[in-house]
Chains A and B, each alone.
Chain A
Amino acid sequence: MAAAAPQAIRSIGRREAARLEAVSVTLLLLAVGFALAMFGGLVAGDADFFRAHASAWVSALLATPALSVFVRRFGRAPLGDWWRLFWSAGWVMMAVHLWWGLGALHQWDAASVFQRQGFLVAAPIFLIQAIWPLDVALAWTRRDWARAAGGYRWWQALAGLAVFLTFFVSLVVFRNDLESLVLGLVQAAAVLLAGLLRKLDREGAA
């Protein structure tokens, strides 16, 4: 019993170190992505246009690990710190995208987004601007965020699906440029791979 205490302390220490590592890596990726998206605008033809697009690309990149973890673990294993941190970082960049896309390009005229992009693209974008931050907020406030149950579980699944589909439609279906298409395909491939691994996990367990 006396020997178990230091072991538990060591275990907590390891968990804290792992958490710190997750925070450090995610925050660094977020910072680098944010800086590249913003400073890249200085060398691009149109700073606002570039920033609006690049922030969406970085959001998609940051959301990809979270979506992959989610697909592989949801309902099976705790989602974990990596999911929560990447999921949150992805949303932060989506908020940055909203600032440049809606604020700079559309001068906060939401109706014009529907007018120019069509309902099929505009509606999901606005929808995830509501769903995603709510899901992130729940992930940081609910105790059962890692192993959701009941209605919250359905909510998490819906939020994950909504974000993935929005990225897929925007980046792949309505590909505006090569960068978007590549990023969309990479994200879709990562999610697909996670799904395959999940299937293999189940078959292995059986």
Chain B
Amino acid sequence: MIRKIVNAGGIVLALLLIAATLGWLWLERSWSRWDRPEGPLAETGYQAFTHGAFGLEALPVKYAAVIDKVSAPAFTTTLEDGRSPWRTYGFITDESGKGGDSQLCQSNAENLLPHGFAVTNYLPQRAIQTPLKFAALTCASCHSGRLRTAEGLSETITGMGNPELDVIAFGDAVRNAVLDPSLTAGKIMDAYDQACPNDRTGFFTRQVEKLVMSAWLSGIRSQTGSETGKYGLPYHGAQMKDAADIPAGPGRTRPFRSIVRVALNLPGEENYAYSKIPAVFEQRRDLRPRAQYDGSVRNPVTRSFIAVYASGASVLALSKPEVAWDVRTAAAYTEELGLSIPVPSFAETFPKHLPDPTQVEAGFQVYKTWCADCHGYRPVGGGQWVAEGRWIHRFDYLDGRGGGPKLGVDPARVTFRYASLLPLSIWATLPGSGPAVAAQEQRLRDAGAAAEKAGEPALAWFWQQQLDGFLLAKRQYRLGHPLYFPACPSGQADCDETKLLASAPPCSEDDPQKCQLTDEVAYYNNPVPELYLRAPFLHNGSIPNARQLINLEPRPERFCRGENLYDPDALGFVATEPGPDGRCDDPRVAFLFDTTELGNSNRGHDFPPWDPKTLTDEQRSQLEALLAYLKTL
């Protein structure tokens, strides 16, 4: 009898376990349900750009709502000066007062999280969808900004780089927070319940949320902890704004340090390739055939993939249909942003600072003499950018090869260690299908063999590691990763992918222009539409405004960055001077930008090559006219 009961109990238990597993799988399907948005590009593209899922989940929303309560030491910089943690890091928060007093909760997260944060169900890295909501970065977190003038703040402008965003410091704050041994899912949930008492969920959902949050915390803590050998311990407190500790500062990133770490699994600490967060206007291929300041990427989708991959999105997350669609759609949006999708012009943003039309006309002639060869031009009175010029869409080599104009700007962006390993490694990160996957495998093998032959055994080992990773990924993405490149556009039957492979790294083409990814020691000449939204200038953001860029004024050697005011007359930011002690004591502009530091040089790009200290009246007049014309771009 007992045996019978035990066996019957076993059967019931087994059936319950099967039912529970099936139930979970059914719930997973409902959590991951996604319908492709439909509508015009301006609408769906904007949605993807500002609210899409990109695999950049930062924190559970419930945690984001109480970071100041449960993780204050991790997020506090001591330089808040009354600002919220979000704003201290430069995120765009609602300062209108409309929602200023409202507590961020899961129910209002879409409205109260800073601009550019999406709410998704994806668990970071693993990209599994659960009922736990995450606050996730989107393109708009970095590529949207506001101009802060004496009169107040402008509207949020989509597509410009956020000049105040301290994204590396924010990353360190998150790493600090999750490493806190006393932080638990229970502590977060309890704090959240207190902060948002009306935002209760059902018993089952709460238990699942707590379980998932616990798993997330344990996973991210373990991952962050294991990576301290490569990333070091995160900085905290006032170090967050100290250039000696986090040298990128507001409005800048270290994209190649990141990509070296994630794509090559090598340390990037000695990488000084600082980059301002770029504007992403008018990226259409005919106007901008190669993306990035160094022209290293040919395709806008690949550029977007690399951006989110370097920012921490996993290859797995990027394979999810929703994420891949968002990457493609956001890339397409940037191609049209400023063209068919309007961007506010200088005149619309600063109607009281309109340049004199006569000066604009005169300035256009100066521009044609000194700038148009490399950048093309926009006709006076408006119209589409004319991408014509002797040196436009050309690589400008640092060693003068090719005969282009001598730029003389900081070289660190294109001369860092491991740069030559990136094109093939990045290409092989996303296994293709058909002939592409075989070519990827073969080229990785060839790279290993070449390293061996060249007497570089460690490099041969590196390529073996890359190959092992590729072979595993190849098994994971049997049909090819949805973002692999170069790929034939869907529906184009006469396209032959085998032919496209000539443009894949290492390129067999002699002309790097045709190559999907390059590591040329050069900068690339592209148009500069919406120039007033591109300050600070040069790729490393070392020149605060256009007056200084064109040498109408001396370029400051040291200045303070943060919430700098925008000066429409100077077409850029006011370079706040450091105090007598050489420090930036105002907590709102606390970062000291020192152009004598590695990677920060503000030298070069002297067109016209006039010394601002010895300008003649004629030269000054020409430069004033040029500045007037630049305001119309």
Chain A residues engaging chain B, CB cutoff 8 angstroms: 17, 20-21, 23-25, 27-28, 30-32, 34-35, 38-39, 41-47, 49, 105-107, 109, 112-113, 115-116, 176
Given A17-B3, A31-B15, A107-B479, CB of A24 within 8 Å of CB of B21: no
Contact across chains for B8 and A32 when beta carbons are under 8 A apart = no
Contact across chains for A31 and B7 when beta carbons are under 8 A apart = no
Contact across chains for A27 and B14 when beta carbons are under 8 A apart = yes
Q: Interface SS of chain A: helix, strand, loop or mixed?
A: helix
Contact across chains for A46 and B476 when beta carbons are under 8 A apart = yes
Q: Which residues of A contact B458 (CB under 8 A)?
A: none
Q: Which residue of B lies closest to A176 (CB)?
A: B475
Contact across chains for B24 and A49 when beta carbons are under 8 A apart = no
Q: Which residues of B contact A39 (CB under 8 A)?
A: 21, 24
* Contact among B3, B13, B128, B433 with A21 in the assembled complex (CB-CB below 8 Å): B3
Q: How far is the CA of A79 from the CA of B434 in the complex (A)?
A: 46
Contact across chains for B7 and A38 when beta carbons are under 8 A apart = no
Q: Which residues of chain B (1-17) have a CB below 8 Å from chain A?
A: 3-4, 6-8, 10-11, 13-15, 17
Give the residue among B25, B128, B478 with the most A Cβ atoms within 10 A. B478
Given A24-B14, A176-B475, CB of A42 within 8 Å of CB of B25: no
**Cβ contacts A to B, 23 pairs, < 8 Å:** A17-B3, A17-B7, A20-B4, A20-B8, A21-B3, A24-B7, A24-B10, A27-B15, A28-B13, A28-B14, A32-B14, A34-B18, A34-B21, A35-B18, A35-B20, A35-B21, A38-B25, A45-B125, A46-B126, A49-B475, A105-B479, A109-B479, A113-B478
Chain B residues engaging chain A, CB cutoff 8 angstroms: 3-4, 6-8, 10-11, 13-15, 17-18, 20-21, 24-25, 125-126, 128, 215, 219, 316, 433-434, 475-476, 478-479
Q: Which residues of A contact B11 (CB under 8 A)?
A: 20, 23-24, 27-28
Q: Write the nearest CB–CB distance from B223 to chain A, whole angstroms.
A: 11
Q: Interface SS of chain B: helix, strand, loop or mixed?
A: helix
Give the residue among A45, A105, A115 with the most B Cβ atoms within 10 A. A45
Q: Which residues of B contact A25 (CB under 8 A)?
A: 10
Q: Which residue of B lies closest to A109 (CB)?
A: B479
Contact across chains for A47 and B126 when beta carbons are under 8 A apart = yes
Q: Which residues of B contact A109 (CB under 8 A)?
A: 479
Contact across chains for A21 and B215 when beta carbons are under 8 A apart = no
Contact across chains for A24 and B25 when beta carbons are under 8 A apart = no
Q: Which residue of A lies closest to B218 (CB)?
A: A43
Q: Write the nearest CB–CB distance from A110 to chain B, whole angstroms.
A: 12
Q: Which residue of B lies closest to A34 (CB)?
A: B21
Given A45-B316, A106-B479, A176-B475, CB of A31 within 8 Å of CB of B17: yes
* Contact among B8, B126, B434, B479 with A24 in the assembled complex (CB-CB below 8 Å): B8
Add 11 more A-B contacts to A24-B7, A46-B126 (CB < 8 A): A17-B4, A31-B18, A35-B18, A35-B21, A38-B21, A38-B25, A42-B128, A46-B316, A46-B476, A115-B434, A116-B478
Q: How far is the CA of A49 from the CA of B18 in the complex (A)?
A: 20
* Contact among A21, A49, A105, A113 with B7 in the assembled complex (CB-CB below 8 Å): A21
Q: Which residues of B contact A49 (CB under 8 A)?
A: 475-476
